[in-house]
Amino acid sequence: MSRFWSETTRNITPYVPGEQPRDKIRIKLNTNENPYPPSPGVLACLRELANEDLRLYPDPDSRELCETVADYYGLSAEQVFPGNGSDEVLAFLFQTFFGPDDLIAFPDVTYSFYPVYARLYGIPYREIPVREDFSIDFSGYPGEAKGILFANPNAPTGLYIPPAEIEALLRARPDTLIVVDEAYVDFGNQSVVPLVKKYDNLLVVQTLSKSRALAGMRIGLAMGHPELIEGLNRIKNSFNSYTMDRLAQAAAICAFRDDAYYREINGRIIRERERFKETLRGMGIPCTDSKSNFVFASLPGLKGPDALRLLREQGILVRNFAGNPRIADWLRITIGTKEDMDRVVEAVKKIMER
């Protein structure tokens, strides 16, 4: 603590990202990274672009990237906003749409960065309990909320809400901004991006970190009505004109062009996820019906932090959210390769038999 810290700096509780270990962890399944590399096309394009042009500033509007994403989803470029990771996109949207007199609401079990941003930007928020089975119950959301945020599939439960239910919410609450964080949508789910053309109260956030194997590159997206996107650009251009560097813009464009590659690797992850869930259930281990690239499970008779430690002792790193009492005894286990998951199953067996 320095005497120069502002009141905000003194009072904020920062988000704590999953550990990036330097020790002997053999299997890293704690931050939902893709176990497969970016597409050969993305890597070739990055190698080609690591040249003297890096002395030049990038396109501040990421125009070609916006057009590529727009083509992919059947939108216009004015409906796309890229950012330096979807965390940055989320930070911008909190500042763009909400202030100290607005109320926002999100589930009590969801991406734990939302309350951090709400506190950082001084936005009043309410955390609405999910049901006992962790599903989101929209009927409990306050009528006066100006914004509702949730991840779909949700994190860290992996539970998925089909587009029809989200469309009903958009219709029922035309004056509430509905933010759907689709970080895990590509793992076998249907996106609500097409609804952007029909509803001006929908903002969809996506990331290239998980399904496009580019966590190290930092690329996120928001898609919504052109006036929502214009608002995001007003805030972004008041903060940093060049959030997207040349390499990030190019990598993102190539990633959207290499769709076949990503469908293939994510197909493998989906199959492994289903197999892993079934194996755990067969061992009597409760787990949610995750539609994401992780499984959410609770080892019977073990506190979450203890289960985490026992796996770590066997060289396997997973994630536990001990700070949230509703999920303190649950583990979020990223789906890795088949070999990774076989070793997790062996490690869990050992723990259950000890």
Ligand X SMILES: *Cc1c(COP(=O)(O)O)cnc(C)c1O
- CB within 8 Å of 2: residues ≥ 6 apart: none
The smaller minimum CB distance to ligand X, of residues 183 and 347, is found at: 183
Contact region for ligand X (CB under 6 A) — 51-59, 79-87, 223-231, 251-259?
Answer: 79-87
Site string for ligand X, 14-33 (x = CB under 6 A): ------------------x-
> Which region among 82-90, 134-142, 194-202, 242-250 touches ligand X (by CB under 6 A)?
82-90
The yes or no reply on residue 114 touching ligand X (CB under 6 A) is: no
Phi then psi for residue 59, to 5 deg, are: -65, 115
| Residue 86 touches ligand X, criterion: CB under 6 A | yes
Check binding of 209 to ligand X (CB under 6 A).
yes
CA 320, CA 192: separation in Å to the nearest integer?
Answer: 29
Is residue 87 a contact residue for ligand X (CB under 6 A)? yes
Q: Which pair of structure tokens corresponds to residue 108? A: 């009590």
Instruction: Provide the 3-class DSSP secondary structure of residue 122.
Output: coil
Q: 64 CB contacts (<8 Å, ≥6 apart)?
A: 249, 253
Q: How far is the CB of 323 from ligand X (least distance, A)?
A: 16
Nearer to ligand X, 188 or 220 (CB): 220
Least distance in Å: CB of 169 to ligand X?
A: 18
Cα(326)–Cα(342) distance, rounded to whole angstroms? 28
Q: How far apart are CA 285 and CA 132, in angstroms?
A: 17
Distance CA 237, CA 145 (A): 27
**85 touches ligand X by CB under 6 A:** yes
Neighbours of 11 (CB within 10 A): 10
Cβ distance to ligand X smaller for residue 35 or 220: 220
Instruction: Give backbone dihedrals phi and psi of 125, rounded to 5 degrees, phi first.
Output: -140, 155
Of 183 and 318, nearer to ligand X (C-beta) is: 183
Select the residue interacting with ligand X from 105, 130, 183, 252 (CB under 6 A).
Answer: 183
Q: Does 340 bind ligand X (CB under 6 A)?
A: no
- Contact predicate 223/81, CB 8 Å: yes
Q: Choose one: 60-68, 85-93, 310-318, 323-331; the region binding ligand X (CB under 6 A).
A: 85-93
CA angle, 249 then 269 then 134, to 5°: 95
Min CB(342)–ligand X separation in Å:
25
Upstream peptide bond of 156 is cis (omega within 30 degrees of 0): yes
**Which residue's CB is nearer to ligand X, number 145 or number 180?**
180
Which residues of the shown chain bind ligand X in the complex (CB under 6 A)? 32, 85-87, 111, 151, 155, 181, 183, 207, 209, 215, 220
